[in-house]
Structure formats: C-alpha cells, structure tokens
Amino acid sequence: MRRTWIGTGWKMNFLRAEAEAYVDELGVALQGGVPEGLQIFVVPPATVLRAVRERAKGLPLLVGAQNMHWEESGAFTGEISPAMVKDCGADLVELGHSERRAMFGETDAAVNRKVHAALAHGLTPLVCVGETADEKRLGAARESVVRQAKIALHGVPAQRVSEVLLAYEPVWAIGAGGTPAEPGYAAQMHAALRAAIGEVHGAATAARCAILYGGSVDLGNARPFLAEREVDGLFVGRTAWKASGLVALIRIAGEMLPTRRKQRLEAS
Ligand code: PGA
C-alpha cells in the first residue's frame, strides 16, 4: 500500500544555525516516532544538507537536495553531482521544481537525465510537475503535466518507476501570490498523471507510484487534500518553514492515516 508523504522544501532559506534549530525542534516532536505508513522529509539548501543529515541522525526523516547535475564530475562550475549529493547523506533529490524550470531554464529533457542519474546513485528522485496559469486557462493543464511526467520518466525501467516520487505543483498555486488548487481538481490531475504512467509503464506500476500535492498547502487545507485518495502526500513550502508548521502537518496526516488506509483497502 502506498505511503503518505509529508515533506518540505526550504528553497533558498536557512543558514546553518537556523537549519539545526529546525531539526532539533522537529526531533523533539518526532521522539515518539511517526505512525507506520507516514514518511517525513526535508529538502534543505545544499550548503546545509550535511549539517541537517547529521543533526537528524536517528530521526525518522529523509533528507534531500533541491537540485543536482546529471554528470558524474567535471567542468560544470557551480553545479553539484549526484555523488556529491549522496556524499552529503541525502536520500532524495528534488528535480524540476517550477522555479528551476522558470528561472534557471530547466527542461523536461534535463529532468529526465537527472532522474536517471539519481536512480543510478541510489537517490530517490522527487520530480515536480505543474501547469502554468496560462496553460490552465487555455485548457492544456493535463497535457502539460502529462508531458512533463512522461518525459521525466522516459527510459526508466518499469520495475523502478515507482521509486520516483512525483509532486503535482500547479505553478499558479505556488508561493506568496499563489492560490491553492481545489482538492478535487488536484485529485483529477493526480489521476491523469497516474493514467499516463499506466499507459507507458502499466497499470500495476502506476498504482504503486506516489504523487504528492504542493502549492499553498496550509494547516487549513491539508486535511481536505489528504482526504483525496489520489493524493499521496503534501510537499510544502512556507507553511513548513517553521518546524512547528511541519509538526502540525505531520499531526494532521497521522490523524488521517486510519481513514486513508481504509479508503485504500476499499479501493483495492
Ligand atoms: P508553497 O511552496 O507551499 O510556499 O506554496 C510550495 C512549493 O514550491 O513546493
């Protein structure tokens, strides 16, 4: 049965002392462990990745990088390689966030190369896909996210596809100017993504893939999102930039686990 994921990307925030204080606060809250079926992760900036990993030792917490290059090493000034990410103790790597696509020219093809590199290095790729406001307005939202996901997963062997985490993050929903998607709308997009994965890699594989929602998640809408069977978790920015925010989201997800389990059993 698919797990429920709660994670946060810190974007370009947090110096080392703040990052460590965050993990310490989270550590206190996670002392009793997290319920089975719930997976927590944080995605700090690369500069504090190792510090966060070390500080989080013993906690049920996965740690990820926000980006990486696909090449092993070489003349790529300013980039970090999959081996470097792994060397910092990361478990996962976020790829194709809309800010990277819009501001740093990350293409679908680049995301695909990075997915392959991540899998080759034992890192879980967390691939973000999402339509822009214009694509939504013009009726091409599904096509856009399906294209992004299909290209990201191109050439990944069927037995490894479910190792890739997807995050559906509509561009218009992200950040200070964003409006959260309606949970029902997000669920439809998740279903469209799952159907597209099924088309290429088979329905059984698609059924095992985790698809998270991200974009203006807060303590008010986390519950309705998690009430959707298609939503396998939440990938959160601002609301979880304080440890107390992430802890509150973990609590909500924990409370919803029994209902989610039942829902899934009924559907299978
Ligand atoms: P937000 O960011 O929760 O602050 O909207 C989400 C994201 O960029 O993943």
CA–CA gap between residue 191 and residue 197 (Å, rounded): 10
Query: Could you identify the atom of ligand 1 that is nearest to the CA of residue 175?
Result: 5
For residue range 125-179, list pLDDT tens digits in order: 999 999 999 999 999 999 999 999 999 999 999 999 999 999 999 999 999 999 9
- Sign of the alpha-carbon dihedral angle for 31, 35, 39, 43: negative
Query: Could you identify the atom of ligand 1 that is nearest to the CA of residue 240?
Result: 3
Total domains in the fold of the chain? 1
Q: Which of 129, 236, 246 to mutate to test the pocket of ligand 1 (most atoms within 8 A of CB)?
A: 236
DSSP class of residue 198 equals: H
Is pLDDT above 90 for 32? no
User: What pLDDT is stored for residue 230 in this prediction?
Assistant: 97
Q: What is the pTM of this model?
A: 0.97
CA–CA gap between residue 189 and residue 200 (Å, rounded): 17
Domain with residue 183: its CATH number is 3.20.20.70
Residues of the domain holding 47: 4-267
54 belongs to the catalytic site? no
| pLDDT-derived band at 238, boundaries 50, 70, 90 | very high
Ligand 1 pocket, Cβ-based, cut-off 6 angstroms: 9, 169, 174-175, 178, 214-217, 235-239
How many angstroms is it from 43 CA to the middle of ligand 1?
A: 12
The rounded mean pLDDT for the chain is: 97
The least confident of 32-36, 162-166, 181-185 is: 32-36
